[in-house]
Amino acid sequence: MTFAGQIWEFLECLLNWPTKIGFILRATVYSKVLKKAPLSFSRRTIIKWYRNIRITDPGKMEVGAGTSIERGNLFMSEGGITIGRDVLLAPYCKLITHQHTFREPDKSIYDQEMEYGPIVIEDGAWIGAGAIVLPGIRIGKGAIVGAGSVVIRNVPALEIWAGNPAKKIRDREASRQSCLP
Ligand SMILES: CC(C)(COP(=O)(O)OP(=O)(O)OC[C@H]1O[C@@H](n2cnc3c(N)ncnc32)[C@H](O)[C@@H]1OP(=O)(O)O)[C@@H](O)C(=O)NCCC(=O)NCCS
């Protein structure tokens, strides 16, 4: 890990401060170190950063206004993570943007190249607790991912997916006209 990476890990520990002071501290620090995370303290547009969040490469992550990121989320963001406005990330989700390649069976996986795929979560989506989102996945506007799901395919807008691997359960039909712009 680079020296800057080590400093960032140390800083992340300090960001776990409880109470409202912690919210203000996190909102302020993340707005400075992320690629994009607008700073606001208005009830509607504040990005709600809860405790014990881990972001491996903050410079490659952006988050839109009004999004809520619950405790324990892990963002392995080396491949780039874009989270839209008003997204809900329930506790302990994992967004992973890289993986080892394993094309050469005679070589250890550790020694083979890494590959990266950006994750995009569009406006108004809700990711249930403990879901895992793999590299290169796009979750569409207003889509829902069930708790504990492993998302290995793109989830289209306004659809509900769940399970391991996540599959479509149904559409959010009743919400098609009312929920999103
Ligand atoms: C995805 C979710 C919203 C679906 O709710 P729902 O539409 O009421 O779904 P239902 O309970 O009617 O289930 C529909 C089907 O999907 C399956 N299903 C629902 N949630 C699932 C999940 N998380 N994982 C796997 N399968 C799931 C059900 O077993 C059911 O399958 P069946 O038709 O074969 O019996 C809900 O189950 C869920 O996971 N919510 C997330 C809760 C959470 O993370 N809260 C944190 C607060 S921020």
Q: Is the predicted pLDDT of residue 178 greater than 60, yes or no?
A: no
**Ligand 1 atom, smallest distance to 160 CA:** 1
> Comparing C-alpha atoms, which of 92, 42, 32 is closest to residue 65?
42
Given a cut of 80, whether residue 174 has pLDDT beyond it is no
| The pLDDT value given to residue 179 | 53
Separation of 178 CA from ligand 1 center, angstroms?
22
Residue 89 in contact with residue 108, Cβ under 8 Å? no
Given a cut of 70, whether residue 27 has pLDDT beyond it is yes
Ligand 1 neighbour 22 (Cβ under 6 A):
no
| Domains in the chain, CATH or no CATH each | 3-171 (2.160.10.10)
State which ligand 1 atom lies nearest to the alpha carbon of 70: 48
Condensed to tens digits (0 to 9), the pLDDT of residues 65-83 reads 999 999 999 999 999 999 9
Specify the higher pLDDT residue, 175 or 148. 148
Q: Is 100 a catalytic residue?
A: yes
pLDDT per position as a tens digit, 79-96: 999 999 999 999 999 999
For 41, the 3-state DSSP assignment is coil
pLDDT at 1: 81
Q: Does residue 128 line the site of ligand 1, with CB under 6 A? A: yes
Distance CA 167, CA 181 (A): 26
Task: Tell if the pTM clears 0.85, that is, is over it.
Answer: yes
**pLDDT (tens digit per residue) in 42-72:** 999 999 999 999 999 999 999 999 999 999 9
